[in-house]
Amino acid sequence: MRKKFIAGNWKMNLDSSTAGALAKSLAAALKKDKLESYADVAVCPPSIYLTTVAAALAGSSIALGAQDVFYEKNGAFTGEISTEMLKDVGCRYVIIGHSERRHVIGESDQLINKKLCAALSAGLEPILCIGELLEERQASQTETVIERQLRQGLVDVKKEAMARLTIAYEPVWAIGTGKTATAQQAQDAHAFVRGILADIFDDGIARKTRIQYGGSVKPANAAELMGQKDVDGALVGGASLKVDDFVGIIKAGCDLEHK
Ligand code: PGA
């Protein structure tokens, strides 16, 4: 069975005590069901709670990720957080280019590329998010948009660094809306992403790069989505805030319910 990578993006939904408690309960649930042998699991709390969550996860197999990072190593950048700071508090992963950063904060492909290169050269494992808006899908622009986000996001990324990079395909119209891409829509987009990776790098890199689906993943749709040939895991928002739902996604996504 192929190993899945399931990450929970907690966004601005918790305070320090609920973040710590959620991390502890998740760690206990994963251990109880021995889920670490089927999936790599990470949680991405708000930066201000990374240390709280790191402490709560001590001794567990759940990795820690951040929701964003700045591209400079250090210096006078008020409000920003560097790759070194993320590593200092125990982060392994960092989400880069999430749709809310692209479309609410206004981050460009160029800025996202700088952050991605900084994360890779610092030894972090970035999750590069890409995905089209509803109007772009309706105008048959899905492939054009995700190709641009991929090519511009991956400028100057070396082949050797690709083993540490995950792509998350997240159609913007499916994020937090309860609307999920159909399994076929997800598979088509993921296969397209793999084709672009083969073109930028080579077939081996394209085959080995993990491509997560994100956008209203729930226990009820995880099996079908993650059963697709090119879907290697999930980036989960809302459902990662409830232990039963997140664990249900891991189990369904790894097809454990039938074992
Ligand atoms: P959602 O969020 O699962 O709540 O749709 C996904 C994401 O933002 O990564």
- Domain assignment present for residue 58? The answer is no
Q: What is the CATH number of the domain that holds 118?
A: 3.20.20.70
Classify 4 as helix, strand or coil: strand
Residue 178 CA, closest ligand 1 atom number:
5
C-alpha of residue 162 to centroid of ligand 1, in Å? 24
Closest residue CA from atom 6 of ligand 1: 237
Q: Average pLDDT by consecutive 10-residue portion of the chain (259 residues)?
A: 87 97 97 92 98 97 98 97 98 98 98 98 98 97 98 98 98 95 97 98 97 97 96 97 97 77
Closest residue CA from atom 2 of ligand 1: 237
pLDDT score at 1: 53
For residue 4, the cross-strand partners are 39
- Domain assignment present for residue 237? The answer is yes
Helix axis angle, 219-226 to 243-253, nearest 10°: 20
Closest residue CA from atom 1 of ligand 1: 237
- Domain assignment present for residue 113? The answer is yes
C-alpha of residue 70 to centroid of ligand 1, in Å? 22
DSSP 178: S
pLDDT score at 256: 74
C-alpha of residue 142 to centroid of ligand 1, in Å? 19
Catalytic site includes residue 80: no
pTM above 0.95, yes or no: yes
- Domain assignment present for residue 98? The answer is yes
Q: Which residues' Cβ are closer than 6 Å to ligand 1?
A: 9, 170, 175-176, 214-217, 235-239
How far is Cα 226 from Cα 256, in angstroms, rounded to an integer? 12
C-alpha of residue 216 to centroid of ligand 1, in Å? 6
Closest residue CA from atom 7 of ligand 1: 237
What's CA 43's distance to the chain center, in Å? 9
Residue 95 CA, closest ligand 1 atom number:
9
pLDDT score at 255: 81
Residue 217 CA, closest ligand 1 atom number:
3
The answer to whether 6 and 253 have CB atoms below 8 angstroms apart is yes
- Domain assignment present for residue 219? The answer is yes
Phi, psi of 252 (to 5 degrees): -65, -40
Catalytic residue among 98, 107, 136, 190: 98
Classify 67 as helix, strand or coil: coil
User: How many structural domains compose the chain?
Assistant: 1
Query: What b/e string do you get for 97-118 counting C-beta neighbours within 10 Å, with b at 16 or more?
Result: bbbbbbeeeebebebbbbbbbb
C-alpha of residue 221 to centroid of ligand 1, in Å? 14
Q: Domain of 162?
A: 3-15+37-50+63-257
Catalytic site includes residue 160: no
- Domain assignment present for residue 27? The answer is no
H or E element in which residue 244 lies: helix 243-253
- Domain assignment present for residue 23? The answer is no
